[in-house]
Amino acid sequence: MKNIILDCDPGHDDALAMMLAIASDKIKLLAVTTSAGNQTPEKTLNNAMRMLTLMKREDIPVAGGNRTPLVKPLETAGNVHGKSGLDGADLPDPDFEVQDMTAIELIAKTLRETDGKVTLVVTGPMTNAALFLRVYPELAHEKIDQIVFMGGAMGLGNWTPSVEFNIYVDPEAAKIVLNSGIPTVMAPLNVTHQAQIKKAEIEAVKSIKNPVGQAFYGLLGFFEIYHEDPKWGFFGAPLHDPCTIAWLIDPEMFETEQMNVDVETEGELVRGETVCDYYDLTGKPKNTEVLLEIDRDKFIKLIMDSLETF
């Protein structure tokens, strides 16, 4: 069983990633920390608490983290995730207390209390991960075996022409994480745009007669709307964040390449771009395993089977 901490900005796809982790017998979700990104820090924290209440996992500790990125002002994505950050379903109010500590304090506490290594999964801007690395460098290198994150792209962008949202929000944080020396695994847009759920598959979620399935029917229905814009050329809605957890559960579902990945933090047009050295042109350390292809049918089956377990 793999011990993980999930740092997220729920966000519809973050919530789906959390669900996969909780449903899997291969993963133990030790703690959840939240970042400002898809919505304000207050809303992403409340959304994480609401999802854990819905899934009856109030035993999992939650703490809120960064209120702004390291350098830039916060930009959120209400146009994608709605006013609440999880529009589309009637979710329960949290029925447990948030931890009386910051996200990086909860990460430190969790690492200290856990035997062996822990995987840090990041599905939002990487501000909390960067802050943790700066405040607790020894603990990070001793106890974190890898950082698995959704973010970035090779030659693609979804927020500006060559920049993906999570890295766009906090490029400096992403640069710190990718240059930390801790092995990283990256789920870029190149793979998450393959991980689309079709409208008919969303409809099939409606037949999953448990409260979690019913909630995700509404959440996925809302999330799909933004992606109907013909400019994307999508056949469904890309499920970005769950690719991180799906890789941890079944890496055979993906094809990957090891390469150097770094982040541009300057430049009017490309600030936040992930620069992926696919052809090893720089000779820089191959710090990142990049997910490039996914077996979409297997991925969707994992989501459906996971929803049935609640």
Q: How far is the CB of 125 from Ca ion (least distance, A)?
A: 8
Sign of CA dihedral 74, 77, 81, 82: positive
Partner that binds at residue 165, options ligand RIB, Ca ion, none, CB closer than 5 to 8 Å by kind: ligand RIB
Location of structure tokens 């890496």: 251
Which one, 165 or 310, has the nearer CB to ligand RIB?
Answer: 165
Which one, 123 or 136, has the nearer CB to ligand RIB?
Answer: 123
Q: At what angle do helices 127-135 and 103-113 cross, to 10 degrees?
A: 60
Alpha helix ranges (H) inside the chain: 12-23, 41-54, 78-81, 103-113, 127-135, 137-143, 165-169, 171-178, 189-192, 199-205, 211-226, 242-249, 296-308
Q: How far is the CB of 175 from Ca ion (least distance, A)?
A: 19
- Positions in 112-151 near Ca ion (CB under 5 A): 123-124
| Radius of gyration (C-alpha) of the chain in whole angstroms | 18
11 binds Ca ion (CB under 5 A): yes
In the stretch 191-230, what mask flags binding to Ca ion with x, by CB under 5 A?
----------------------------------------
Which one, 136 or 223, has the nearer CB to Ca ion?
Answer: 223
Q: How far is the CB of 282 from Ca ion (least distance, A)?
A: 29
Q: How far is the CB of 168 from Ca ion (least distance, A)?
A: 12
Dig out the tokens for 202 from the structure.
Answer: 């969303």
Residues in contact with Ca ion, counted by CB under 5 A, come to a total of 6
How far apart CA 35 and CA 102 sit, in angstroms, is 11
**Residues binding ligand RIB (CB under 6 A):** 9, 11, 13-14, 37-38, 123-124, 150, 158, 164-166, 240-241
**Cα(first)–Cα(last) distance of the chain, in Å?**
19
What is the DSSP-derived secondary structure letter of residue 158? S
Which one, 111 or 171, has the nearer CB to ligand RIB?
Answer: 171
> Phi-psi category of 82—alpha, beta or left, where left has phi over 0 and alpha has psi -120 to 50?
left
Location of structure tokens 């964040």: 241
- Positions in 12-51 near Ca ion (CB under 5 A): 14
Which one, 45 or 111, has the nearer CB to ligand RIB?
Answer: 45
240 is catalytic: yes
Residues belonging to the active site: 240
Give the interface with Ca ion as residue ranges (CB under 5 A): 9, 11, 14, 123-124, 241
